[in-house]
Structure 1
Amino acid sequence: MENVAKHQDTVAPPERSEVLSAYESATLSMARFTLAVQVFGLMAAVASVIFFGFQLREQVKATRAQVEATNAQVAAIGAQYDSLEASAYQDLMTKALDVDKLLIDKPSISHYIYGKLGYAEKGIPADAYAAASYYLDFYQLVWAQRSRILALKDDSNPDWITWKNSMAATFRESKFLCDHLSEMKTMYSSDFVDFVFRDNNWCQH
C-alpha cells in the first residue's frame, strides 16, 4: 500500500492540450488586430506630429522672411521720405534766398513791400505787384509744406516758429501785401488766407 501511495504522489497531472480552442484563437486574433490598429494609430499620430512640426517650421520661416522683407520695405520708404523731406526743405531755403535777392536786385520794391502804402495807391509799378505775388506764393508754399516737412508740423518746433515769425513780421509791416492777398485771395488756398487774416490777424493796419 505504501508503494501504491508513493506512486500516486509522484504521478504528474495530465498536461493541457497545446491546441487552442476556436474561441481562444478568435480572441487572440482580435487582440493582435487591436494591437496592430493601436500601433498603426500611434505611428499615424507620430507622423502627423512630425508633419505638423515641419509645416510649422516652414510657416515660421516664411513669416520671418515676410517680416524681414516688410522691415526692409519700411526702411526704404523711410529713407525715401527723408530724402523727399530734405529736398522739400532745400526748396524752401532756395526760394527764401530768391525772395531776398528780389529786394537786392530791385531795392525800390522794398518801399512797397515793407512800407505803409496801400494797394490802391496811384503810381505803383508793375514790379511791386509782381514782387507781392512772389512773396505770397512763397509764404503759401511754406504753409503748404507743413504737411510734408516734419519740422514744420509741430507748432513748438524752432524751424516752424522761425518761418511763422518771418511771415508775421512781413504781413504786419506791409499793408500793400495784405491788400494784395485780400484782392487776390481766390488765387490762394482758403486755409492759408484764413491763417493770415483770421487765425493770426496779421493784417490789422
Structure 2
Amino acid sequence: MSESDPRNHPWTPYPGPRPAPYRSEPPVPDRPARPLLEPADGWTMLLGTLAVLPVGVIGALVWIGLAPRVPAAVTADHHVSFVGSEPRGFITADITFLAIALAAGVLCGVLAAILGRHRGTAVAVAMAAGGVGASYLMSWLGTWLTGGPAHRWAQHAVPGTHSYFLHLQTQPFLFAWPFVAVLVVLIAVAVTDAR
C-alpha cells in the first residue's frame, strides 16, 4: 500500500463502514397488541357463564344439608311465629351460605383461569355474570326446596311446630361468589403476564 493511499494517513476517516464489534441479531418485530375482546370471546363469556350455573344447584343442595333450620310454630289460620333463638339460626344459615359461595367462587375461578388462560377479560366477565347467576340460583333454590318463601310455606304447613325454611337474610352475600371468582382470574392473568 503506498503512502499516498488515504487509508495510511492517521487523520483520514475510514473509507468504508466499520465492522460491528459483535454480531448483532436482526431486530424482532413487535407483536401486534391483542384487542381487549375478540369475536371468540363472546362464546367464551356465554359458555363460561352457563357452565357456572349448575354449580349453583350443587351449592343449594350443600346449603340445605349444612345450614340449620329455625323452629317455627304454625297456627290453624296459617300464622307463623318463631320458637327459640330465631336470629342466631338465620345468622348461622347466612354464614353457611357465605362459606359455600366463597369456596365455589375460588373453585370456579381457578378452573376458569386454567381452562381460559389466554382469554382473561372474557373469562373474568363470565365469572362475574355466572357467579351472580349461580349465587342467586343457590339462594332461590335453597329457599324453594325447603318450602319457602314464607307465604307459600305458611299456606301449606299444617298447624304445629316445624323447621322453618331457609332464607338468605344478608343480600350482599350474593356477591361473594362472583367477587372471589373474578379476583382469582385477575390474579392468574397478572401472574401470567408478568412471566
TM-score, with length taken from structure 2 = 0.31
Q: Determine which structure has more spread, i.e. the larger CA radius of gyration.
A: 1
Structure richer in strand, relative to its length = 2
Structure richer in helix, relative to its length = 1
Q: Highest relative contact order (Cα 8 Å, sep 6+), 1 or 2? A: 2
